[in-house]
Amino acid sequence: MMATFILLQVVFIAGTETSSTTIQWVIRLLVAHPDTLYKLRADIDNKVGNKRLLNESDLNKLPYLYCVVNETMRLYPPVPLLLPHFSTEDCIVGGYDVPKNTLLFVNAWAIHRDPKVWEEPDKFKPERFEATEGETERFNYKFVPFGMGRRACPGADMGLRAVSLALGALIQCFDWQIGETESLEESYNSRMTMQNKPLKAVCTPREDLVQHLSNL
């Protein structure tokens, strides 16, 4: 019974806390970078329009939306310290001797901010993810918000699509303003998730979408 409770708790936290945290970070970053916000909205307006609301079938036509979400998770991974691993034998990792029975954590935040791996790592640049399909392998082991390999997050694809769908609709339907001036870094902590305090934002329905929103 206890094992079932713990499993359900993990599924609930992993499936809701991380997604809501990522959505809040994207809104924060887009408001702080209006050029990116306008570019994303223009892409949505051009490919979806204002005659209907964005739906899941539109996501494949919106690669820049995925770029924005990925760049947000690079700067502020939903889980900065990935699930721990346990060494079953003596080994060498990255030039370091790792004794048997050692608990190992993967620091996704440090990997994503490594200047040896990323150009201008502290800057919000979604365009860095505008790679062709055949070049996506270059992000392996450099971009690990969901982990890698056999122990990667099993809900990664679903989570990414759910977050992208929610964000696409929020950007399509509303204008956004942050309710108070705050530093992005002041909103960060390095605990289980990257959220320190709730996002306080003001959203105003876009005139062209009011009718569609009223029908929901």
**What pLDDT score was predicted for residue 183?**
60
Mean pLDDT of 164-178: 91
Find all residues with CB under 8 Å of 84, minimum gap 6, and list them: 103, 104, 105
CATH of the domain at 137: 1.10.630.10
* Portion of the chain with pLDDT greater than 70, in percent: 79
The count of structural domains within the chain is 1
Q: Which domain holds residue 113?
A: 2-214
Apex 162 CA angle, 210 and 154, nearest 5: 175
**How many CB atoms neighbour CB 82 within 10 A?**
22
Distance CA 211, CA 216 (A): 9
Mean pLDDT of 194-213: 77
Nearest to residue 76, comparing CAs of 18, 36, 118? 18
Is 153 labeled as ligand-binding?
Answer: yes
pTM, two decimals, is 0.84
> With 60 as the cut, is the pLDDT of residue 191 above it?
no
